[in-house]
Structure 1
Amino acid sequence: MADILGRRRFLSSAVLGTTATVVAATTMGSLAPEAMADPKLDVEAGAVDPNFVEGRITGIVGGLLITTSSDRTINQIHLTKATSVWKLRPTTTDAAQVGDGLYARGVRMPDGTLAADAVWLNIVNLQVHITSIGRNVLHLDHNGDRIVGHVVAGTTAAVYNNTPAVVDLSLLEVGRHAQVIGAWRPDTNEVDVATVYAAA
């Protein structure tokens, strides 16, 4: 509980501008895409986490994102110097664009807005079968849907059998199962691949 209260005070001061020094939100937890599903607060099973938002960005006003969730709920999310942002890789708050999908975790302010400590833009986590491999592209099947996975130089990596990530994708095999974490290209069937988890 002390950790939650400390986080709430920290983010409140960042939103309200009452602190001179703001550290990166990654000091409060990992920004790795795998951490997106790691709950920060104790929430009863089946209950909605009030400090977590999903949806698409419908407007941006300064450091405030307006989003519409899948249940049509409208949320307002504050981005501050303390907010860590992931969009294929760690980036800045300027990377957010109208139309981006979003997951955000933070603390609710008294006015109902969310002060975000971490935001993941367009993140996808797909269980796929590799149907073909081309130059800088993976063709994937996700539950019957065709997905084009773009290999991004300097970013895309593979993890084989739980070993450390490497840039060598040569051990990927057509017909094999894989897990792909990446950034969706909104309104397409294409993703930029961050990490492929596969058996070698």
Structure 2
Amino acid sequence: MNQTLNRRRLLTTAALGGVVGATGLGSLAPEAAFAAEAATVEPGAPDPNFAEGRITKISGHMLLVTGSDLVLHSIRITDGTSIWKLNPTTFDQVAVGDGLYARGVRLPDGTLAADSVWVNIVNLHAHIASVGRNVLHLDHQGRRIVAHVVPGRSAAVYNGTPAISDMSLLRVGRHVQVLGAWHPDTNEISIATVYAAA
């Protein structure tokens, strides 16, 4: 049996009340949210196993999400769903108003049984406008973003080297890519990883 069928069977079992170990079905790293899914999706067609948007309602273990294209998604959180909100976390940390990306398997009723959910995740390409104590002020497409360094969590990757907690090589004017968690309805984020040239 191929991996897609195994994954579908495991998620269907979890959605119907079975137990599947969290993160057993894929990476929860924030980079995985933006990775192309190795599926047989026609170029330009929507991925049926992906959903994004803002949470408008939570009922039991179901999330009602309004996509940026105004499509409504029903997302089931199962025993095997892995949840990221700057760190791996639990379902009780998810709130109405949060944004999310979710990957999983579509059930016959159209519900997405999620294997991974990234809450408030952002992926920004920006320039550093200023550097302060535990904060970067970023210029992102003409908008100012306040990016908070979270001690013990935020990391920097310089020229593709392994991630380190030292942010001292970040310089004003440099281009950076920042993965992090958005603070809903603000221009602020918490930094997971900053990618920069040293």
| TM-score, scaled to structure 2 | 0.96
Please, which of 157, 169, 183 is the counterpart of residue 185 of structure 1? Answer: 183
Structure 1 stretches lacking a partner, 5+ long: none
Q: Distance in 2 between matches of 1:22 and 1:118?
A: 12
**CA displacement at 1:62 relative to structure 2:** 1.2
In the alignment, residue 16 of structure 1 is paired with which amino acid? L
After TM superposition, list the pairs within 5 Å mapping 1:106-145 onto structure 2.
106-145=104-143
Q: Is 1:6 matched with 2:3?
A: no
How far does residue 4 in structure 1 lie from its aligned partner after superposition?
A: 1.2
RMSD: 1.1
Show the counterpart of 1:30.
27
Matches within 5 A, 1:33-182: 33-38=30-35, 39-182=37-180
Task: Compute the displacement of 1:191 (Å).
Answer: 0.5
Provide runs of 4+ in structure 1 moved above 4 Å.
none
Structure 2, unpaired ranges of 5+: none
Q: How many equivalent pairs are there?
A: 197
1:40 and 1:80 mapped to 2: Cα distance? 22
**TM-score in terms of structure 1 length:** 0.95
Paired amino acid for 2:53: G
Quote how far apart the aligned CAs of 1:31 are: 1.0
Counterpart CA distance in 1 for 2:109 and 2:11 is 14
List per-residue Cα deviations over 1:125-173 (Å, max 9, x = no partner): 0001001011111000001110000111111111111111111111111
Query: Which one is further off, 30-39 or 163-172?
Result: 30-39
